[in-house]
Amino acid sequence: MATGDNFAREIRVGDRLALDYGVRKDKTLYSLDHQAGRPAVAVAVGALASPAVMQLLSAFERRAGEFKLRDADILVFIDATAPHAIDYESAPNAPLEFIYCLPRTFKEWGWDGAQPLVFIIDRNARVISSANAGAPDDVAQSALEYIPAGGASDEAQQPAPVLLIPNVFSASFCGELIEHFENNPHVKGGIASMDANGAAYNRIDDAKKKREDFILSAEDRLFAPVVETLSRTCAPEIRRAFQFDAAYTDRIVLARYDADGGCFLRHRDNAAPGVAYRQFAVSINLNAEEYEGGHLLFPEYSSCRYKAPTGAAVVFSATLLHEATHVLKGRRYVLLTFFHNTEAEARRLAAA
């Protein structure tokens, strides 16, 4: 799209499009975390119900196949409070995804509501370009040209900001941790959540997270050697790479992902209020050669899949969207914990 007065100025190229949440037509919740990993066209129509809106949606519908070939989606954002919103049920919606959201979303996007506003976003919801005027077919064609012909898969591979630390644990100690896991009772891993009263609890959802967990208590004979090793091998590397002083660990978990659906799909490790103090996640593979699948994936950055060797740690910010993909064969054993600094510990204690 050519530069000029037609461009929205409140959100600039390189800014991340903000969206707390929305609701799909099937009443399920939507956030841009669901979009991570795929570029998209975001069409803000708000409360508009004019012929011009329908013409623009029709133009994108006609090119939907071309967007699909580029691994890109077409999202239409509608004001959920508008009395006419149901009218969009008759729009050409087969290849378009309709998201209903609150008016504040459009205000945050700097939209004046006079005519549809189109954003083209990359896999990390960063704005590539935007426009709020033009012939519908021209707008749709220009949007298409901003998306790489190969889609997200052909973008320059941008590595996620993760740190791989080899040889944190010896192979023999990894074997000892696996044996310890199997010789102790373990439970289904839950997802940190809050109930209607604001109380923290672990929610079981096998479709999103399927894992068996054993928590090393402070009295466990392996607890002290694990903490000592993490302090000696990981903390200095984190300080050097991220200028971060890791002073505390969170719970230390031995976990097993099985080939019957074992995974933990996309999530952020400090998103729930009860774990907001977490700052860096640590994931140490204990038997990398004995399973298939089970990669770490950071969809906001690239499609690269990370599989650390046995005994190596992958360290990354707890704010990063990531997932442990399905184990396809065998069993994946891993040690998991989190680091935080003294300031975060004070916040944790104050919230306890």
Write out pLDDT tens, residues 54-86.
889 989 999 999 999 998 999 999 998 887 654
So what's the pLDDT on residue 150?
A: 60
3-class secondary-structure state, position 55: helix
Rounded-to-integer distance, Cα 318 and Cα 347, Å: 16
Choice between 88 and 125, residue whose per-residue pLDDT is larger: 125
Could you give the percent of the chain with pLDDT greater than 70? 89
Average pLDDT over residues 245-271: 95
Looking at residue 115, its pLDDT comes to 87
Which CATH class name applies to 163-351?
Answer: mainly beta
Query: For residue range 215-243, what is the model confidence (pLDDT) as tens digits?
Result: 999 999 999 999 999 999 999 999 999 99
Q: Shortest CA distance to 187 belongs to which of 172, 171, 202? A: 202
Encode pLDDT of 127-162 as tens digits: 999 887 789 999 999 999 998 776 555 445 678 999
Alpha helices in 230-278 (DSSP H): 235-242
Mean pLDDT value of segment 158-186:
96
Phi, psi dihedral angles at 68 (to 5 degrees): -60, -40
As given in the structure block, the two tokens for residue 326 are 């399905």
Q: Which residues face 165 on adjacent strands?
A: 313
Q: Which of 130, 160, 102, 153 is nearest to 319 (CA)?
A: 160
Q: Is the pTM of this model over 0.95?
A: no
233-272 in b/e form (b: 16+ CB < 10 A) is ebbebbeeebebebeebbebbbbbbbbeebbbebbbbbbb
- Which position has the higher pLDDT, 124 or 155? 124
- Please provide the distance, in angstroms rounded to a whole number, between the alpha carbons at the two ends of the chain: 52
Residue 88 has pLDDT above 80, yes or no: no
CATH 3.40.50.1100 holds for 22-154: no
If you average pLDDT over residues 84-113, what whole number do you get?
A: 75
- Residue extent(s) of CATH 3.40.30.10 domains in the chain: 22-154
pLDDT of 172:
97
Burial class (CB in 10 A: 0-12, 13-18, 19+), 304: middle
Q: Residues with Cβ < 8 Å from 10, sequence gap 6 or more?
A: 109, 110, 111
Over residues 280-299, the mean pLDDT reads 97
Rounded to the nearest 10°, the torsion over CA 38, 46, 104, 270 is -20
Q: Is 232 helix (H, G, I), strand (E, B) or coil?
A: helix
The confidence band for 2, taking pLDDT boundaries of 50, 70 and 90, is very low
Domain with CATH 2.60.120.620 in the chain: 163-351
d(CA 163, CA 174): 20
